[in-house]
Amino acid sequence: MRYLPTAPSEDRALLDAIGVDRAEDLLQGIPSHLRLARELDLPGQLSEQEVLRQMAGLAAMNTAFSSRFLGAGAYDHFVPAAVDQMISRQEWFTAYTPYQPEISQGTLQHLFEYQTLTCDLTGLEVGNASLYDGGTSCVEAALMAVRLQKKRKTILISAGLHPHYQEVLCTNITPHEGLKLVVVKLKDGVTDLEDLALKLDGDVAAVLVGYPNFLGCVEDLKAIADAAHAAGALVVSVTQEALAFAWLEAPGKLGADLACGEAMSFGNNLNFGGPYLGFLTVKDSQKREIPGRVVGQTRDLDGQVGYVLTLTAREQHIRRDKATSNICSNQGLVTLRANIYLQLAGPEGLKGLASQNAAKAQYLQARLLELPDFSAPFSAPFFNEFVTRYQGDVQLLQEECAKAGILAGLDLTPYAAELDHCILWCATELNTREQIEQLVEVLARVPSQVQ
């Protein structure tokens, strides 16, 4: 076995030094009746080329699409070669959590820079070293808001929040018996301010709102924040497409108290949904309630600037059941991808990319609406995603696109009754005009069903 340092003479030398005859003799701590009396019923070991063939075979069972118009929380952006090259250095990808700061300054300084950038993007003051993904970031943000608000126990979530985020929230909030999740309705694709006002009572700890929301619509975060603050509630801005921060004003500047969401868009492949990058930023006054790892700047014995994991009194290894969260890792290597990506892009690159995304999505929408069976159900501004209503059979449309090598938008029918026959489309800098024209061509051929 190529990864195991076995060799008869060396194995003997180790066993002799320990004073046992066979390795199995070291299992004496496991009572014999609890040991597995047979071999595992699994295939035998394989050479590298056999493994590669087997895995490549699985990969080939997936359809290879030549263009994709699907987002909905997982975005297809170009990944610069520098990202993959850099994270392949063993110093980055094989290292552990930076618990020994003297030999982890690379990871620590990177995380300090990453925290700086998430604060910059969101317009808030303190960021953690990341959370698992967009959905779980909502859970951590909601629980933090409840801790900050002490006696308030209701969490309002806009119906425009990604439905999977809503489900992750519901799963994780349910065990907290005192807490209540209440959904605020949508009107014309955005949070209904009247319904919000109605539900903002004195028990509301926080309002979670998608910015932009799941339907691609840009919410007026300022109006929502003003209403929430007037009722004493905190506002959590949830962004599932972090590139939107280069198109839309930073949530912190519009009154959001916490900003969380998904930042996989920065330097990551789609990876069938993970690993992705949950982020969370808060106000400075709230920093001691933030969950997850946080890196801080300090000095060493010689007065040299260095970095350490800090504010650890919040964390599970110190506070145990009183910790701000049970989280014990971060998305280490994914934060590195994001940091490298953001540094390469810089302010102009990021704004340029965002502008290209908006341009592509607007062009795609315009071309789709020229087709007889497509209409726009919402009028709110959007970034790189939008909804169309389609007269025909959505699944048939998806299949016809697939035959042409195109991954079509998301069928929204299963998500809500009022979204029947709706499709959520996404376009990014990767979608060329040619791809868009090809899509339109295919759609024009799909037989529409008369309702």
Partner 1 sequence: MTTRTREPLIFERSVPGKTGMDLPRLDVPPARDTRPAHLKRSGFDALPSVTEVDVIRHFTRLSKWNYGVDDGLYPLGSCTMKHNPRINEKVAALAGFADTHPLTPAAHVQGNLALLYTLQEWLKEITGLPAVTLQPSAGAAGELTGVMLIRCYHMSKGARRRVILLPDSAHGTNPATAAMAGYDVIVVASQADGTVSFEDVTDASGKVQKGLDTLLSELKEDVAGLMITNPNTLGIFEYRIKDICEALHKVGGLVYMDGANMNALVGVARPGDFGVDVMHLNLHKTFSTPHGGGGPGSGPVACTAALEPFLPRPVVVRETAQEGEGQVARHRYRLDWDRPLSMGKVHTFFGNYGIVVRAMTYCFSHGGDGLKAATLRAIVNANYIRKELAGVYHMEYQTPTLHEVILDDSGLAQYDVHTLDVAKGLIDRGFHPPTIYFPAIVHGALMIEPTESEGKAEMDEFIAAMKDIALEAASNPEALHQAPVLVGMRRLDETTAARKPVLRWTRPQ
Enumerate residues 157-196 that contact partner 1 by CB under 8 A: 162, 164-165, 167-168, 170-172, 174-177
Among 21, 82, 188, 194, binds partner 1 (CB under 8 A): 82
Q: Which residues 86-125 are close enough to bind partner 1 by CB under 8 A? A: 86, 88-98, 100-107, 109-110, 112-113, 115-117, 119-121, 125
CB of 445 to partner 1, least distance (A): 19
306 touches partner 1 by CB under 8 A: yes
Among 67, 77, 122, 126, binds partner 1 (CB under 8 A): 126
Tokens describing residue 440: 């339109």
Tokens describing residue 296: 């801080």
Among 215, 259, 308, 446, binds partner 1 (CB under 8 A): 308
416 touches partner 1 by CB under 8 A: no
Nearest to 182, CA basis, from 328, 190, 191: 191
CB of 80 to partner 1, least distance (A): 6
**Cβ-based nearer residue to partner 1, 232 or 367:** 367
256 touches partner 1 by CB under 8 A: no
Cβ contact 278:124 at 8 Å: no
CB of 180 to partner 1, least distance (A): 14
**Cβ-based nearer residue to partner 1, 201 or 260:** 260
CA distance 337 to 294: 18
N- to C-terminal Cα separation, the chain: 63
Cβ neighbours of 405 (radius 10 Å): 15
Among 313, 369, 396, 416, binds partner 1 (CB under 8 A): 313
402 touches partner 1 by CB under 8 A: yes
CA distance 245 to 211: 9
335 in helix, strand or coil?
Answer: helix
Backbone dihedral angles phi then psi of residue 446, each to the nearest 5 degrees: -65, 125
289 touches partner 1 by CB under 8 A: no
CA distance 239 to 219: 11
CB of 134 to partner 1, least distance (A): 5
41 touches partner 1 by CB under 8 A: yes
Q: Which residues 340-369 are close enough to bind partner 1 by CB under 8 A? A: 340, 342-356, 358-360, 362-363
Cβ neighbours of 31 (radius 10 Å): 8
Question: Which amino acid, one-letter code, is at 61?
Answer: M
Tokens describing residue 47: 């050479």
